[in-house]
Structure 1
Amino acid sequence: MGVGIRAAGEDDRELVVRLLDEAFQDDPVSGWVFPEREYRRTTHHRLMAAFTDIVLAEGRIDVTEDGTACALWLSMLAADGDGPDGGDGGDGGDGGDDADDAVRLRESVDPANARVEEIARLMAESHPADRAHEYLWMIGVAPARQGEGLGSALVQHVLDRCDREGLPAYLEASSERSTKLYERLGFTYADRTLDIPDGPRMWPMWREPVTGRDRS
């Protein structure tokens, strides 16, 4: 049986924030940003809400019809401003003021927590800028439904469009275990890790579009 998928809207904001908060409570990067477990339990959702608001405004969020999983995507421009069709793509990848964005994120989420700003800067600095692509920012699956293929279905939903349109895709895996999932979907390790100071590492991964010839 296939997984029903739809585009999320503003009415789905609380659902998406809850899914991300639950899914990433024990994630290594979330644990670094909010080291104290009880503080993370009461504050982590603010960061997930900020991410959700950014993507609702600038990108696309897909959710399963039963509301148990979501995926956040941004369409990124190349550094020269070219989008997927040579025009204006999404807001990402146009240079922007990443430093100011990181400051605003910290101020809105947890003003005294420098790590909120630091993780935003690190991810922005490591992001590939030479080609337009689809960026899988986050994917969250309700803990009770993990391991059922919901995440794979959500990602493949957009990868099929990437293949049709000739677009590559990019992500940062937050655990070595999750890289195996993405490898099965055609992503390859970018030969460099994003090493967080005194913290965990992330694995940037890239996927070239699959053409008709590649599929044969």
Structure 2
Amino acid sequence: MGVAIRAAEESDRDLVVRLLDTAFQDDPVSRWIFPEDEYRRTTHHKLMAAFTDIVLADGRVDLTEDGTACALWLPMPAEEHGEDGGDGDDGPAQMRASIDPANERIELVARLTEGVHPVGRAHEYLWMIGVSPDHQGEGLGTALIGSVLDRCDREGLPAYLEASSARSRGLYERLGFTLLDRPLALPDGPQMWPMWREPRP
């Protein structure tokens, strides 16, 4: 199946946020961060907006032409997630403060995923991929990821992600990702699977 993909622009921001908000409403990690249904419906989009803004500024958002799926990628230099740089920048705390200061899980999940993020080698980081619920199972996610993995293979770059559900983990395994060490267990919550993919010749 041919899937037309383009790089999202700033004018696509609201579309990307709505798409991620819809796609992740029932995701196990989203349900852990925002456990009450009404709270999730009214607040979850703020977290998706924060992610979108970070990646539009520092990475790349790939979007299907029909607006039904998107992937957020960040290029990660070697040692990007090492010790604190001493500049006082505390992204997880700032994110919590801007979204919902009373929700410590927003900050906690960011700190936990930062803690397992591999260092030492430059790589592409698939932060999120969202497919509209009525278009899941059509191969859109595979197409979005595959286009970047092809480039990674050509350039000799590994790729990394954290799968947030068993279903997504299965997709990533089919694309060549393998579990790094062990799953990340959120306190009183679901597991996440840090996964790594070496470039293929």
TM-score in same-fold range (> 0.5): yes
> Any conservation in 2 of the 1:99–1:121 contact (CA below 8 Å)?
no
* AA at the equivalent of 1:72: L
Q: CA offsets per residue over residues 148-202 of structure 1, 9 Å max, x none?
A: 0000000001001100100000000001121111111111121311111111110
Contact 1:106 1:114 in 2 (8 A): yes
* Residue in 1 that maps onto 2:61: 61
User: 1:17 — aligned with what?
Assistant: 17
Q: Normalising to structure 2: TM-score of the pair?
A: 0.95
Equivalent residue pairs, number: 199
Aligned partner of 1:93 in structure 2 is: 81
SS at match of 2:90: helix
Residues 1:77 and 2:77 aligned together = yes
Partner of 2:5: 5
The gaps in structure 1 that reach 5 residues or longer are 80-91, 212-216
Q: Which of 122, 140, 165 lines up with 2:112 in the alignment?
A: 122
SS of the residue corresponding to residue 192 of structure 1 reads coil
Candidates 128, 133, 138, aligned match of 1:148: 138
Poorly superposed stretches of 4+, deviation over 6 Å: none
Q: Match of 1:189?
A: 179
Q: Which amino acid aligns with 2:37?
A: R
Is 1:162 aligned to 2:152, yes or no?
yes
Inter-partner Cα distance in structure 2 for 1:18 and 1:39: 16
User: Deviation digits for residues 4-58 of structure 1, max 9, x if unmatched?
Assistant: 0000010000010001000000001000100111110010000000000000001
TM-score, normalised relative to structure 1:
0.89
2:134 aligned with 1:106? no
1:38-57 matches, within 5 Å, as 38-57=38-57
Question: Which amino acid in the other structure matches residue 81 of structure 2?
Answer: G
SS of the residue corresponding to residue 2 of structure 1 reads coil
How many angstroms apart in 2 are the aligned matches of 1:135 and 1:7? 16
> Match of 1:138, as an amino acid?
M
Q: SS at the partner of 2:199?
A: coil
Q: Distance in 2 between matches of 1:167 and 1:94?
A: 19
CA distance, structure 1, for counterparts of residue 81 and residue 71 of structure 2: 19
Secondary structure of the structure 2 residue equivalent to 1:41: helix
> Deviation at 1:111?
1.2
The 5 Å alignment of 1:174-213 reads: 174-211=164-201
2 CA distance for matches of 1:152 and 1:115?
Answer: 30
Structure 2: gaps (5+ residues): none
